[in-house]
Structure 1
Amino acid sequence: METLFEIYTNRLARVDTRFVRYLHDKIKWNSRLIVVTGARGVGKTTMLLQHIKLTESESDSLYLSADSIYFADNTLYEVASKFHKLNGKYLYIDEVHKYKNWSTEVKMMYDNLPDLHIVVTGSSVLDITKGTEADLSRRALIYNLEGMSFREYLNFTLGTDLKPVPLSNIISNSYVLPASIPHPIPLWMDYLKMGYYPFFREDDFYMRLDNVVNQTLEVDIPTYANMNVATSLKLKRLLFIIARSVPFKPNFSEIGRAIDVDRGTVADYFVYMEKAGLISRLRHANDKMVLLEKVDKVYLSNPTLCFAQSGEKPDVGNLRETAFYSLMRVNNKVASSPVSDFLIEGMTFEVGGKNKKHKQIESVENGYVVKDDIESGFLNTIPLWAFGLNY
């Protein structure tokens, strides 16, 4: 236990609390069991340590990583029980998906240590969700952390204190940037290239991001789906195909022939990659905006991945649509529009450059043109960067 406390206090001392992710204030931290999921690299570990440093007594809490060598000879439940006997109140378990049978032991903690508050996270959305559905669905509050928005990027890099802007204010052009940001477009372009991931300031960013993608394809998905090494190579080939084709309507038979698997397996691969935060699938919706299973288009999950996976400058049209979808799906139900690009709660959005015309939405009620490369909007024309203020 002394070793775990030493590691915990050392990590806590190095945590910077000047910038905190959007999800922090949405979590009901007083709940007895909380699960935080999210793709690799989006900042789950930092958020946990920040919460401890900002709100709790260091002696009442313990942060540990489930992939520590300590757990070669000890169990999570043993540690939780010892911590509980020392009057510990808050236990934070990071990378919990790397610990075999984690959900069973977390359930034991919840049932047998009623005074202990437990927060678990995992870089793989896959295993942690699987475990939660199996054993903890009635006990846990489950949250998902997305990558950074443009608003968060501005706060992080410039030290501003911009608050989230509701979609209703964005479409009415009712938002104001501080005087310190007279020209948002250069900052927006920087955000698209690197700003989705909080570690963008570290050296060799794209190399680090490539490692994140490889770990997801080589470890997370194969472990979750009981795949072998050869399968991870097919996943890489599939991501290569997607990155150079997006946005596209998936043809499972054609893709299956390209990577030498049947169409049913291709469909499974798409599900795994979406859950792992590598791709996003745009679905059709019914009249009540209930998303249907039928997929219209496939995108990479965020604009930064577009730069990382394209091998060159990404297609500008794809980049714009990917950015819009990535930013809007966090707080809104986004579906494919039958006449344009996107549909959100009865509102139609056509995404394009500064010369984009209104022709496609002329006959549509509540239609909006979203233009890249413009600093401000007017009437139903809205700058693309403004949607980055939504969360």
Structure 2
Amino acid sequence: MEAFYRTHAYLVEHTNAPVRRDLMDEIDWNDRLIGIKGTRGVGKTTFLLQYAKEKFGTNRSCLFINMNNFYFSGHTIVDFAGEFHRSGGKVLLIDQVFKYDGWSRELRICYDRFPNLKIVFTGSSVMRLKEENLELGDIVKSYNLRGFSFREFLNLHTGMKFRAYTLEEILNNHEQIAKGVLSKVKPLDYFQDYLHHGFYPFFLEKRNFSENLLKTMNMMVEVDILLIKQIELKYLPKIKKLLYLLAVEGPKAPNVSQLASDIQTSRATVMNYIKYLADARMINMIYPKGQAFPKKPAKIMMHNTNLMYTIYPLNVEEQDVLDTFFLNTMYKDHKLHKGDKGSSFLVDETTPFKICCEGYKVKNSPNVTHVMHNLEIGHGKQIPIWIFGFLY
């Protein structure tokens, strides 16, 4: 146990989160079992350690452990939690819980056996905590940690503390919001950098960003999909090839029959793989209003713009990048469907948006909100695209 305490103290001491994530204040930390999901690379480990640092410092009532540790090949989570609890432990932070076989059953036992112990764990976005883990469905509180928003990226680079705005606030007050931001910084000076490398926190590391992201993407497929979905390793090349083909084709309806032929599998398997890639936050499936999986999507898009620039940089079209940015920033709190003629997306089944490249001649469409690129301040139903990066 002492070795774990020493590791915890070292990690907490050397944790220095560059941006305090808003999720820290959105979580009800009074709950006894909290799951924090998120795609690989968005900073879940740092988030746990930052929580430990803020709330407990070096107090031994809180302990961080990682399921990568070989210790848990020969010891159970239940036994470890019991020993921690008997020594006065109050909060156990478990990173990468899915690396432990039978984790959900053991967390349930811990919940029932140690009523004074709080457990906070991180897991992959591929995990379905309530749907696929019946032991936890009625007791776990689940949250999602996302990559940096443009607002967080801007705050990091400028030292500002701009707050987030709701979609309603942006639609009704975007001119005033834009003027307030522009009085302090020029957001368009940072926007392209964000599109290229701002979503994943590891752009802060002194390593090649694209190489780092490629490594992370491979881990998403090899660990988050294969391990959690229990897919045999021999199918890994098929999933990787499918992801590449979807990225190269750009945002469009997938030709499932052709994709099945290309990766030499069945149509049904292609659709399952597409769903797994969406669960891993590598792609998004866009449907017409009223439709959903397992139907074929009307459009498949990359989950965020950083992935576009990394997986196939030669084929990046400005319109596709802007559409992907808008979709990604809306993804947290809103539902998007394929727009009708004259619009790109239908948001929350009510509000049509048209995403416009620079130089687009806006047509008179009173019901459509036009989202404009390279515009500092909008007016009426023409809103600069950068401001939607303030939604979280």
Coarse TM-score class (shorter-chain normalised): over 0.9
Query: Following the alignment from structure 1 to structure 2, what is the Cα–Cα distance between the partners of residues 139 and 332?
Result: 25
Query: Following the alignment from structure 1 to structure 2, what is the Cα–Cα distance between the partners of residues 125 and 330?
Result: 13
Equivalence for 1:65: 66
1:383 matched to 2:387:
no
Letter in 1 for 2:352: T
1:200 matched to 2:227:
no
> What do you get for the CA RMSD once the two structures are aligned?
1.7
Unpaired runs of 5+ residues, structure 1, are: none
Shift in alpha-carbon separation, 1:313–1:265, aligned structure 2, 3 A: closer
Assess if the C-alpha contact under 8 Å between 1:348 and 1:364 holds in 2: no
Assess if the C-alpha contact under 8 Å between 2:17 and 2:46 holds in 1: no
Residues 63-112 of structure 1 deviation map (CA, whole Å, 9 limit, x = unaligned) = 10011122122221111001100111111000100011111111110010
Equivalence for 2:361: 357
Letter in 2 for 1:141: K
Q: CA deviation at 1:184?
A: 1.5
Residues 303-344 of structure 1 deviation map (CA, whole Å, 9 limit, x = unaligned) = 111101113361111101000000011121221112211111
Q: CA deviation at 1:178?
A: 5.6
Instruction: Please give the residue correspondences for 1:171-182 in structure 2 after superposition, counting only pairs within 5 Å.
Output: 171-172=171-172, 173=174, 174-175=176-177, 176-177=180-181, 179-181=183-185
Residues 270-329 of structure 1 deviation map (CA, whole Å, 9 limit, x = unaligned) = 11000011101112224xxxx644422110000111101113361111101000000011
Q: CA deviation at 1:140?
A: 0.2
Shift in alpha-carbon separation, 1:127–1:204, aligned structure 2, 3 A: same
Instruction: Please give the residue correspondences for 1:149-160 in structure 2 after superposition, counting only pairs within 5 Å.
Output: 149-160=149-160
Q: CA deviation at 1:13?
A: 0.2
Letter in 1 for 2:331: R
Equivalence for 2:248: 244
Assess if the C-alpha contact under 8 Å between 1:17 and 1:54 holds in 2: no
1:99 matched to 2:100:
yes
1:190 matched to 2:185:
no
Equivalence for 1:264: 268
1:146 matched to 2:146:
yes
- Secondary structure (helix, strand or coil) at the match of 1:206 reads helix
Query: Following the alignment from structure 2 to structure 1, what is the Cα–Cα distance between the partners of residues 190 and 163?
Result: 17
Letter in 2 for 1:189: Q
Query: Following the alignment from structure 2 to structure 1, what is the Cα–Cα distance between the partners of residues 245 and 340?
Result: 26
Shift in alpha-carbon separation, 1:389–1:159, aligned structure 2, 3 A: same
Q: TM-score, normalised by structure 1?
A: 0.94
Shift in alpha-carbon separation, 1:197–1:17, aligned structure 2, 3 A: closer
Letter in 2 for 1:301: H
Q: CA deviation at 1:17?
A: 4.5
Shift in alpha-carbon separation, 1:261–1:18, aligned structure 2, 3 A: closer
Letter in 1 for 2:90: K
Q: CA deviation at 1:373?
A: 1.4
Query: Following the alignment from structure 1 to structure 2, what is the Cα–Cα distance between the partners of residues 97 and 25?
Result: 25
Instruction: Please give the residue correspondences for 1:122-133 in structure 2 after superposition, counting only pairs within 5 Å.
Output: 122=123, 124-127=124-127, 129=129, 133=133
Equivalence for 1:316: 318
Query: Following the alignment from structure 2 to structure 1, what is the Cα–Cα distance between the partners of residues 18 and 152?
Result: 12
1:56 matched to 2:56:
yes
Residues 30-80 of structure 1 deviation map (CA, whole Å, 9 limit, x = unaligned) = 100001111100011111111111123522100100111221222211110
Unpaired runs of 5+ residues, structure 2, are: none
Query: Following the alignment from structure 1 to structure 2, what is the Cα–Cα distance between the partners of residues 246 and 46?
Result: 33
Assess if the C-alpha contact under 8 Å between 2:67 and 2:99 holds in 1: yes
Letter in 1 for 2:67: A
Shift in alpha-carbon separation, 1:328–1:353, aligned structure 2, 3 A: same
Query: Following the alignment from structure 1 to structure 2, what is the Cα–Cα distance between the partners of residues 230 and 376?
Result: 52
- Secondary structure (helix, strand or coil) at the match of 1:104 reads helix
Assess if the C-alpha contact under 8 Å between 1:302 and 1:326 holds in 2: yes
Question: Which residue, out of 212, 223, 227, partners 1:223?
Answer: 227
- Secondary structure (helix, strand or coil) at the match of 2:202 reads coil
- Secondary structure (helix, strand or coil) at the match of 1:161 reads coil
1:40 matched to 2:43:
no
Residues 247-278 of structure 1 deviation map (CA, whole Å, 9 limit, x = unaligned) = 01122112111111110000000110000111
Q: CA deviation at 1:385?
A: 0.7
Query: Following the alignment from structure 2 to structure 1, what is the Cα–Cα distance between the partners of residues 329 and 302?
Result: 13
Letter in 2 for 1:10: Y
Q: TM-score, normalised by structure 2?
A: 0.93
- Secondary structure (helix, strand or coil) at the match of 2:287 reads strand
Assess if the C-alpha contact under 8 Å between 1:97 and 1:128 holds in 2: no
Instruction: Please give the residue correspondences for 1:331-350 in structure 2 after superposition, counting only pairs within 5 Å.
Output: 331-339=333-341, 340-345=343-348, 346-350=350-354
- Secondary structure (helix, strand or coil) at the match of 2:181 reads coil
Query: Following the alignment from structure 1 to structure 2, what is the Cα–Cα distance between the partners of residues 164 and 278?
Result: 25
